[in-house]
A and B are shown apart, each in its own frame.
Chain A
Amino acid sequence: MNYDRPELLDRLAAEYVFGLMNARVRRRFQAIQRALPAAQQAVQVWEQRLTPLAQSVPPAQPSAAAWDAIDRRTGGQASRPVAPKFAWPAWLKPALGVAFGVLATLGLVRLYPTAVVPVDQIVQQRGTLPESYVGVLTDAANNPVVLASSTRYGRTMSIKILRKVDVPPGKVLQLWALPKEGAAFPLGVVPSEGKGSFQMADTSEKLLSSVPRLAVSVEDAPAHAGTVPAPYLLTGNCVKLW
């Protein structure tokens, strides 16, 4: 099947979110979502669309044992501020291996899939890294702290924290784009250590093509468009990797 066709992805995403797929087809489409950001986005659109229908379902009280089990199952991670335990697609690993080697002189980089073609295919077939935006943010002492990267036409910003950031309880680390002209705008919230990723409001190309610098500030809550940033804790250049 040609999964590049948006109308096909839209139909499959609708059937997946609505609950029309059987177990086998669900598993297959979940694998496609992990490999194709476009499929993931189509699912998110349908989730946004259909979830309001669930609001009419009468609430029900789970037993106290349910919370106890959740507490127990997450308790081992209480000392880890972020717990970024989501599963990386298996095919991403070789891609990362290549990426880390090639970019050793620049620092470190984490890459996500492009819109339609897995990164490792591009790397292996062309021998070059995919077109991406990469930012390395440093602290006041010029230590590299945050590595942010996103493929040129993708919407996923991948984050690697190179040095743990101390965040006061209840605060968040907000990543900002500082365009050549105009006010800074928020991109997303980054973890204080480990790795993470978030979906941006648009593609990197649309958001970052005239953004030479990135910054991170400590905020009370995730920033929205129009929020005035708190003083920047980290800043760095945002470069085009092509």
Chain B
Amino acid sequence: MTASSDLQQLLARVALGDRAAFRRLYDATAPSLFGVALRIVRQRDRAEEVLQDAFVNAWNRAAVYQAALSQPMTWLTAIVRNRALDELRSGARHRAESLEDQRSGTAPVLEDERANPLKLLEQAADALAIRDCLEAIDGPQRQCLALVYYHGLSHSEVAGHVGSPIGSVKVWLRRGLNKLKRCLEALA
């Protein structure tokens, strides 16, 4: 991964309309960002649409990016996640495209390619040195948090996935998010 200071320089140049810098920024960050989008929207073509929208957005908003407030990858990842969640939550479009996919044979991402979000959460916790804090969160809460954050599952989808009533899932998520907040706040 390109150093954050290098990405800041690239973003500053992108703000001035430097297309070569924009391409370098894309090359340096697109694989990570595409991975994030792909996990959430589940299909390559939809994830590429999300990636395109996100980079067009970044090009247009580079002038308002503030280095003092966030790291470039944080800023870009937030744009991608927001766009991916918007895409995922637009259920009508999703259903229409699913029908289209069946006809055109567009392959959805295989389930095992995006398996085990809990493992991703644990890996992130290790990288951030908050594993102990994460382990203190109850297992079901952790599982629900990982399913929502990495795969963008809704309350009802999480409930179906873990086989628990939606009411319990809502409580777990609320409590889990509060605990996760405390773990992440300790980093600051």
A interface residues (Cβ-Cβ under 8 A, vs B): 14-15, 17-23, 26, 44, 47-63, 65-67, 69-71, 73-74, 77-86, 167, 169-172, 186, 188-189, 191-192, 196-199, 201, 220-222, 224
Task: A61 to B15: give the CA distance in the assembly, Å.
Answer: 25
Digitize B17-54: 1 where CB-to-A-CB distance is under 8 Å, 0 elsewhere. Answer: 11101110010001110111011100010011001100
Distance from A207 Cβ to chain B, minimum over Cβ atoms (Å): 12
Tell me if B124 and A62 are in contact (CB < 8 A): no
Distance from B183 Cβ to chain A, minimum over Cβ atoms (Å): 10
Contacts of B63 in A (CB 8 A): 82-84, 189, 191, 196
Distance from B60 Cβ to chain A, minimum over Cβ atoms (Å): 4
Tell me if B34 and A82 are in contact (CB < 8 A): no
Tell me if B148 and A20 are in contact (CB < 8 A): yes
Task: A56 to B17: give the CA distance in the assembly, Å.
Answer: 31
Tell me if A59 and B31 are in contact (CB < 8 A): yes
Partner of A199, one of B66, B123, B152: B66
Contacts of B8 in A (CB 8 A): 221-222
B interface residues (Cβ-Cβ under 8 A, vs A): 5, 8-9, 12-13, 15-19, 21-23, 26, 30-32, 34-36, 38-40, 44, 47-48, 51-52, 55-56, 59-70, 73-74, 77-78, 81, 85-86, 89-91, 120-121, 123-124, 127-128, 145, 148-150, 152, 154-155, 173, 177, 181, 184-185, 187-188
Q: How many inter-chain residue pairs (CB < 8 Å) link A and B?
A: 196
With A47-B74, A167-B16 as known contacts, state yes or no: A86 contacts B31, CB within 8 Å: no
With A56-B123, A82-B17 as known contacts, state yes or no: A66 contacts B51, CB within 8 Å: yes
Tell me if B51 and A62 are in contact (CB < 8 A): yes
Distance from A125 Cβ to chain B, minimum over Cβ atoms (Å): 29
Contacts of B148 in A (CB 8 A): 18-20
Distance from B96 Cβ to chain A, minimum over Cβ atoms (Å): 14
Tell me if A201 and B68 are in contact (CB < 8 A): yes
Closest to A25 in B: B89
